[in-house]
Amino acid sequence: SPAPSGGSEAHEVASVGAPYFVLLENSDSESEDHARARFEALLETAFEAGCVTDAVVAESLSQAHELWHIRESIPMAQAEEGLNIKHDISIPVSRIPAFCAETDALLAREIPGVRLVNFGHLGDGNLHYNVQAPAEGDAKAFLRDQEERVNALVYEQVAKYGGSFSAEHGIGGLKVGTLEKHKSPVALSMMRAIKQALDPRNILNPGRVLRA
């Protein structure tokens, strides 16, 4: 099993050139020692299978919080870089690597210098697939000129891989038109029937999810 580390060393893992980083939190109904033994056995199996190239194990709650801080700081770091085109999508877990590889390559080919920030929730296949302007580009102009095109490319890829264009953040009012485009007539008809049955006067969030 790997030598456990944390603190400043926990941040160094972000500099390793691996294609993916996974933040895994383990809980146990017996004891902390039991949880750690099971976790280290899992890591050992993963190393032997070639699934993992490096690992950091938190030695304390404060070190665990430092690891979570890396993950939770991604949206803030993106905001510091300027406006970006956000996608809240879901892809079958087993197809995420292929989706990312193909879609990343497609966008890089179509928009030279584009930066891609992919993160999310591995367990349920939810990806925050965000597209950032080239490093020296005008972020506002990029959003204005490229958003519709980028959305179309990403959503076509999502459909190709059997995913959904909207995941944890739902449809709201912004994606009503997109829902109509990507959902089947049967699905939309069922949704409208449910809406009519539960809200015949259309007083619950009118204009959200479905057009009146």
| pLDDT tens, residue by residue, 53-80 | 889 888 888 999 999 999 999 989 988 8
CA distance readout (Å), 206 to 131, 149, 189, 197, 201:
30, 28, 17, 14, 10
| Per-residue CA distances from 32 to 5, 38, 70, 139 (Å) | 17, 10, 23, 47
Q: Is residue 196, in this structure, part of any structural domain at all? A: yes
pLDDT at 6: 41
* pLDDT, tens digit (0-9, with 9 covering 90-100), for 113-128: 999 999 998 888 999 9
As a whole number, the mean pLDDT across the chain is 87
pLDDT of residue 4: 35
Q: Is 148 exposed, middle or buried (CB count within 10 Å of its CB: 0-12, 13-18, 19+)?
A: exposed
Distance, in Å, from the CA atom of 163 to the CA atom of 131, rounded to the nearest integer, reads 18
Residues 146 and 185 in one domain: no
pLDDT score for 108:
95
Q: What pLDDT does residue 8 have?
A: 43
Token pair belonging to 87: 């996608």
What is the percent of the chain with per-residue pLDDT over 90, rounded to a whole number? 56
What's the pLDDT band for 81 if we cut at 50, 70, 90? confident
**Same domain as 182, residue 151:** no
> Within a 13 Å sphere around the CA of 173, how many CA atoms are in the beta-carbon half?
5
The domain containing residue 206 runs over which residues? 171-212
Contact 165, 89 (CB under 8 A): yes
Q: Residue 163 carries which side chain, given as an amino acid letter?
A: G
Domain boundary among 53, 72, 91: 72
Could you tell me if 147 and 190 lie in one domain? no
Average pLDDT over residues 130-154: 93
Q: Show the tokens assigned to 188.
A: 């939309």
Percent of the chain with pLDDT over 70: 92
- Mean pLDDT, to the nearest integer, of 146-174? 92
More confident residue, 105 or 36: 105
pTM over 0.85: no
Distance CA 55, CA 23 (A): 10
Phi-psi sector, 3: left (phi>0), alpha (psi -120 to 50), beta: beta
Evaluate if residue 174 carries a pLDDT over 90: no
Whether 191 is in a domain gets the answer yes
Q: State residue 197's pLDDT score.
A: 95
pLDDT value of position 190? 95
Residue 2 domain-assigned?
no
pLDDT in tens, 8-37: 444 454 456 788 888 988 888 888 888 889
Mind spelling out the 3-state secondary structure of the chain? CCCCCCCHHHHHHHHCCCCCCCCCCCCCCCCHHHHHHHHHHHHHHHHHHCCCCCCCCCCCHHHHHHHHHHHHCHHHHHHHHCCEECCEEECCHHHHHHHHHHHHHHHHHHCCCCEEEEEEEHHHCEEEEEEECCCCCCHHHHHHHHHHHHHHHHHHHHHHCCCECCCCCCCCCCCHHHHHHHCCHHHHHHHHHHHHHHCCCCCCCCCCCCCC
pLDDT over threshold 90, residue 201? yes
Question: Are residue 142 and residue 96 in the same domain, yes or no?
Answer: yes
Torsion (CA) 148, 125, 172, 146 in degrees, nearest 10: -10
pLDDT at 107: 97
The domain that holds 149 is classified in CATH as 3.30.70.2740
User: What pLDDT is attached to residue 92?
Assistant: 95
In the chain, how many domains are there? 3
